[in-house]
Amino acid sequence: MHRLVASFDRFCLGLGWLSGFIAAFVMAVTFVGVVMRYGLRNPLMGGFEMIEIGMGLIVFTALPLMVRRRGNISVTVLSDTFKPDLRRLSTAAGQLLGAALMAFICWRVWLQGERLLTYNEVTMELRVPKGLIAQGMSVLLAITALAFLLCAIEALRGKDDAPSSGTGQH
């Protein structure tokens, strides 16, 4: 089990790196688009669509790592006063709620992707199938739901520390 979790954490880290590469690509497209539009008077074809798709992918590829590193916002006004067992249970409940919400959103986004594919919806300039983009995001949401589920299991086991980020911070 430990190896599977470690492999999943490495996979989430890889997705985090991918998110960074997508951000760099979006910045490059933005820069090139501005130079072409104002310097050469010739806008970059599909630049807006690349940025639009990239921004969505940045978020969805970063989510699993953020969840595994416990980077999500948590309000601890009451839970700081709980006894350790109750705190562990409330943390696990919160993580399970996160998993359920991600799974629900994953399902709805997948269905929307199917609908878009049925109608052959594509982006205007690049002709990228919108349904594939939605379903790709749905898969990333499923991975995020799994990340929440693993965090809930770890909280129940009393292992509520985030995997090491390599920076000494959790």
Domain membership of residue 161 (yes or no) is no
Domain membership of residue 165 (yes or no) is no
pLDDT digits (tens, 9 = 90+) for 116-139: 999 999 999 999 999 999 999 999
Q: What is the CA radius of gyration of the chain?
A: 20
169 band by pLDDT with thresholds 50, 70 and 90: very low
Q: What is the pLDDT at residue 159?
A: 74
Domain membership of residue 16 (yes or no) is yes
Domain membership of residue 61 (yes or no) is yes
Q: Is the pLDDT score of 161 beyond 80?
A: no
State the residue for tokens 């709805």. 108
Q: How far is CA 143 from CA 3, 103, 114, in A?
A: 17, 9, 19
Q: Which two tokens stand for residue 83?
A: 């006894």
First CA to last CA distance, the chain: 22
- Confirm if 164 and 84 have CB atoms less than 8 A apart: no
pLDDT digits (tens, 9 = 90+) for 13-68: 999 999 999 999 999 999 999 999 999 999 999 999 999 999 999 999 999 999 99
75 band by pLDDT with thresholds 50, 70 and 90: confident
Domain membership of residue 11 (yes or no) is yes
For the chain, how many structural domains are there in total?
1
Containing domain of residue 61, as a range?
2-156
Q: What is the pLDDT at residue 168?
A: 41
Q: Which two tokens stand for residue 61?
A: 């590829």
Domain membership of residue 118 (yes or no) is yes
Domain membership of residue 168 (yes or no) is no
Residues 114, 115, 117, 121: is their CA dihedral positive or negative? negative
Q: Which residues contact 155 (CB under 8 A, 6 or more apart)?
A: 88, 91, 92, 95
Q: How far is CA 58 from CA 6, 26, 68, 93, 164, in A?
A: 23, 9, 17, 28, 22
Q: Which two tokens stand for residue 51?
A: 């940025």
Taking each continuous run of H as one helix and of E as one strand, the counts in the chain are 4, 0
